[in-house]
Structures are given as structure tokens and as C-alpha cells.
Amino acid sequence: MRVSLRKSLVLAATATLATSLVVVATSTANAAAKLDNPYAGAQVYVNPDWSAQAAASGGQAIANQPTAIWLDRIAAIESGSAGSNTMGLRDHLDAAVEQGANLIQVVIYNLPGRDCAALASNGELAPTDLAKYENDYIDPIVEIMGDAAYANLRIVTIVEIDSLPNLVTNVSPRETATPECDAMKANGNYVQGVGYALAQLGALPNVYNYIDIGHHGWLGWDDNFDAAGDVFLQAANANGATPADVHGFAANVANYGILDEAYFDANTAVGGRPVRESTEWVDWNRYVGELEYAQAYRDHLAGIGFDSGLGMIIDTSRNGWGGPDRPTRASTSTDPNTFVNESRLDRRIHLGNWCNQAGAGIGERPKASPATGIDAYAWIKPPGESDGASREIPNDEGKGFDRMCDPTYTGNPRNNNNMSGALNDAPLSGHWFQAQFEELLANAYPPL
Ligand code: BGC
């Protein structure tokens, strides 16, 4: 029987007055029980599938780090997600209890018409499959997470990577629009789907919802930043959700944005002007790193109607940018573009590049409360799992071939027509990519 908690509360409440009084009393107690920062003092679950793969692949130094579980299709709820992941949600929750962990990180990632601006992680659900998303994906997850056996686990959910930001930057009349994102904006199913997920998951006393907010190289420009904030708020008020269902937001998930540029920020003056006005890398972005971006977004979101106690998560699994090419001092150039290009730690060809980036390294190790407003640095994208195949690979996972994963691709408006910077010979998204894993280890920063 797939009855979500919210629905069952309604059923209980209509049964007898006495029952409904009890329900009200417990839900108030439960609401009070949510922690300000679930990561504080937590022991975070280590995924045995990923851990074994990492240890067997030369990654003994990091194999005991916690990584998130991705529920990237309906079947993943029962039997594991892409690649070498074999455990279903219940298996992971049981293993977490057994491990003595009290926090597990789960990525909710299966919206209708998923990945509307790219092809590498197109999902299984058609743009109109909202009911299927609700009934066959979210409801069963809620039912499992709501099992009393897991009541002592803090369950952190990262809600729907890339979807809401796509509704802002990749829709008409922008040059970066795709017909697929236009369709998802028009049919409302991203907003409705996220709203449903927030409402149903947020009703569980031990679930902490964090909505994906892309990264500074995507929403860091003022027009994107404010407009996306409004869409997050819209989703948090859709389909039964309220902003109280949102515990926080997650930045840089599966991306490569540096945490903090050591040698400049957007206001650093070079040649008499702030580098924010330089045309190549910063290009009027207000942020040059994920930490300042996440902190500023927190303030902004609290100001437009979200809870003032919001906490942020930053995915630091692959944003280390260490290794021999890492600059060790600020450039002395007085040309802003040259200065930035010689000083920046993030060595991507373009900030819009996102697939299996050459030169990337493991970033900060997972850590609770690392900075003001930040609940955790966390490894949401498991290091070693591909972002997408570098050529067409037939598959039954709904995954397409995105040329941004092809090192010979010369780009599109979303990366200002630059080379993709992707590593060659990559497998499907979510599948193990040994060559990338080795590079991530070699370029880790802080070094391993
Ligand atoms: C893929 C998923 C995978 C996840 C984590 C996504 O890009 O589409 O299948 O589970 O990455 O590696």
C-alpha cells in the first residue's frame, strides 16, 4: 500500500477526534525535533558499494568517506542506481543503522523530463509523467523513509539537481533556451514535482530537504540569482509544500566550482577596475567561488520568504583543483583577463563546463559546520562516477549522448562556445570512470 505520510495523517485525522488530537500533538513534537544542523555531531553513512569500489580502485585514502545515495530512477529504490551500485534504499537504510551512522544523504533525482538542457542524464520519465513521479517514485521513497526502524536516522535529501535553475536560464527568449526546458516551464511539472517531493518528504520528522541551487558559474549573475530564488520559492509553495518543508539548499552538486579563489574575488581591482568587469572568466558574475555564493544565496532566500535558519550544503567532492597546475600566487598582470586567468585555481576552460573535467581533483573532505551558514561540505557526487559518456553508448537507462562530455566538442551558447574540457573515454553517467578517479586523487586539494 503506497500511502504517503501526509495522506495517512489526513486519514487518521478524519477517523476520530481523539486520534486527530494525538496526531496534532505528535506532529508538533516532531517539528520541534528537527535539528538546526543535522550534520552537527553526526556520524554520516558510508556507502559500502562506493567504498568498496573506491578502495579497489586505488582510493584507499578516501574510501571511508561518506557519499550520497542517488535514487536516479524508480528501480533504484529497490535495487540500486547506475553503475556498480547494487543496494536499494532499504538496504542502505538498514546498513546505515548497522553501521551506527545517524545521518544518510539521499539524492532525489527523477523528475519528469529530467535534465532538459543536457542529454547525459536524461531520465526515464516523460515530460508529462508527473503522476508517475508522485505515485511510483516519491510515495514509495516516503513510505520506506517513514519506517519506524529508521526513526533515529537523520535523512538528508538533496532535491532534484539542475531542474529549477534550468527553468530560469535555459528557457526562451534566452539564446541558451532548449525546447525541452521551454516545455518543462510551460507544463509546470518541475515546480509541481519538486513541490510534491518537498511536501511529502518534509512531513517526515527525520527528513531534511535541501533544494539544489546549481552553482556560482550558473546562477551567480544577478538576473539569474534573483529569478531562480523566486522559482525556488514558487516550488516551495506548490503541490502541498510550504517553505517550512525546506531545511536548506545545496550548491555545486556534481559540479567543479572552486570553494574559494585564494588570490582574488570579484571586487579585486586590476588595472583600476574590479575584475568582475573582466570579460573572459568572471564576466560580471558577482561570485568567484561556491562558499561566498552559498552564503549570499542563504541571505537572499531567507529574505524572500524562506526560514532564516536555512543551512547550506556545498558539494566538495571534485572541486579541489590541486596538482602541479595549481597557481601558488596572484598574477602580477595589470590586464584583468590575464590576471584572472593566471591567478585562478579553477582551471576549467570555461565556467560553464560540467562534464568529467580534465585537471579536477577531490576537494575538501566532508565536514560539518565548516563556515557561517554552511551546514556541511559533503560529497554528493561520488568521486569516480562519470558525468556522461564521451561518445554514444546504447543503454536502457534513458541516458543520451551529450557532446559536452566529448573532448573534441567546440561548445554551445551555454559554455560560450568553448571546448568542453571533458576527459576522453568516459562511460555513461553514474558508471565508474577509473581514469577520472585516478586524476581526482592525484589532483586532490587539500592533498590526500
Ligand atoms: C547520473 C546518475 C548517477 C549520478 C551519480 C548522474 O549524473 O545520471 O545515474 O547516479 O550521476 O553518479
- pLDDT tens for 20-50 read 444 443 444 444 579 999 999 999 999 999 9
pLDDT in tens, 385-417: 999 999 999 998 889 999 999 999 999 998 999
Ligand 1 near 72 CB (within 6 A): yes
Q: Which CATH architecture has domain 38-442?
A: Alpha-Beta Barrel (3.20)
Ligand 1 near 81 CB (within 6 A): yes
Closest CA to 291 of 259, 320, 323, 245: 259
On the question of pLDDT at 1 being above 70, the answer is: no
Tell which atom from ligand 1 comes closest to the C-alpha of 81.
10
Take residue 320 and report the three cell numbers written for it. 579541489
Contact 333, 280 (CB under 8 A): no
Active site annotation includes 115: yes
Ligand 1 pocket mutation, candidates 47, 67, 72, criterion most atoms within 8 A of CB: 72
Instruction: Indicate the DSSP class of residue 277.
Output: G
The backbone torsions φ and ψ at residue 411, rounded to the nearest 5 degrees and listed phi first, read: 95, 180
Q: What's the rounded Cα separation, in Å, for the pair 62 and 365?
A: 9
Cβ neighbour number for residue 226 with a 10 Å cutoff: 13
Q: What's the rounded Cα separation, in Å, for the pair 392 and 400?
A: 7
Q: What's the rounded Cα separation, in Å, for the pair 197 and 139?
A: 9
Take residue 283 and report the three cell numbers written for it. 564576466
On the question of pLDDT at 230 being above 70, the answer is: yes
DSSP string computed for 232-251: HHHHTTSTT--GGG--EEEE
Lowest mean pLDDT among 26-30, 364-368, 439-443: 26-30
382, 147, 157, 199 alpha-carbon torsion, rounded to 10°: 160
* CA 97 to centroid of ligand 1, rounded, Å: 25
Q: What's the rounded Cα separation, in Å, for the pair 55 and 409?
A: 33
Query: What is the per-residue pLDDT for 83?
Result: 74
Instruction: Indicate the DSSP class of residue 15.
Output: H
Ligand 1 near 429 CB (within 6 A): yes
Percent of the chain as helix, strand, coil, to the nearest 5: 35, 10, 50
Q: Domain spans of the chain?
A: 38-442
| pTM metric for this prediction | 0.92
Contact 427, 392 (CB under 8 A): no
On the question of pLDDT at 97 being above 50, the answer is: yes
Closest CA to 122 of 168, 178, 198: 178
Ligand 1 pocket mutation, candidates 70, 318, 436, criterion most atoms within 8 A of CB: 70
